[in-house]
Structure 1
Amino acid sequence: MFSITVRDHVMVAHSFRGEVFGPAQQLHGATFLVDATFRRRELDADNIVVDIGLATQELGAVLSDLNYRNLDDHPAFSGINTSTEFLAKVIADRLADRVHAGAFGEGARGLAALAVTLHESHVAWAGYERSL
């Protein structure tokens, strides 16, 4: 399987409900380093997985809806604990929607999977992988 990864970051504020979250139940900020990895079994006609420039642009577009936002106030997340794992899935699903809509170009129709990893720090991260 071939892959390419593009990277960006997003800054959010949020809080959690539930004792398991301890002090994170209070409003706090998080800066996530975001990796989006695109996978395919065979390279396309141009011998690439996907256009890196388009992948970078589309990741940025997906993150722009979240960046500098209090996720507690975001209509899509009303009443939801926006854990790192949950946000990785949201970002992956939104990227998949953009792939299916053609935003990554015709060559991207051969993508098999994508994975999104959110790094909370240099020692902790979470991710989500899905097929396309």
Structure 2
Amino acid sequence: MYFVKIRESMMIAHSLKSPFFGPAQNVHGATFVVDVTFKTTNLDEHNVVIDIGLAHKIVKDILAKLDYQNLDDLDVFKGKLTTTEFIARYIYDEISLMMKNDFKGKINVSIKENPNAWAGFEED
């Protein structure tokens, strides 16, 4: 399996309105390091997994909608618990939609929310 991994980051604020989350129920900020891995069994006609420039552009465009935002204020997340796992799935879905004509392999989104914890999403 071939793969290409790119990394971008974003700064967000949010709250997780459930007693399950203890103090994270309050508004707090996070700097998310977002790794996106593109995997395929075959290289394309240019012997690459994906155009890295295109991958960076698409991921940057998606993250730009969230960067420096309070996720609680965005209509797309109204009434949702914006956990790291949930945001990883959101980013995955947006990438999949934007790349449906440019990439046919598997995509993995991993978000590092602090030096000791990551969460992510990958379709089966």
Indicate the TM-score class for this superposition, using the shorter chain for normalisation.
over 0.9
**Which of 81, 105, 117 matches 1:112?**
105
TM-score, normalised to structure 2's length? 0.96
Which ranges in structure 1 are unaligned for 5 or more consecutive residues? none
Deviations along 1:42-99, whole A, 9 cap, x unmatched?
0001110000111011100010110110000000000001000000000000000001
SS at match of 1:96: helix
The structural deviation recorded for 1:112 is: 1.8
Segments ≥4 residues shifted beyond 4 Å: none
Match of 1:2 in 2: 2
TM-align CA RMSD: 1.0
Match of 1:125 in 2: 118
Match of 1:15 in 2: 15
Q: Percent identity?
A: 42
SS at match of 2:44: coil
1:84 paired to 2:84: yes
Equivalent-residue separation in structure 2 for 1:122 and 1:11 (angstroms): 15
SS at match of 1:10: strand
Q: 1:7-46, aligned counterparts within 5 Å? A: 7-46=7-46
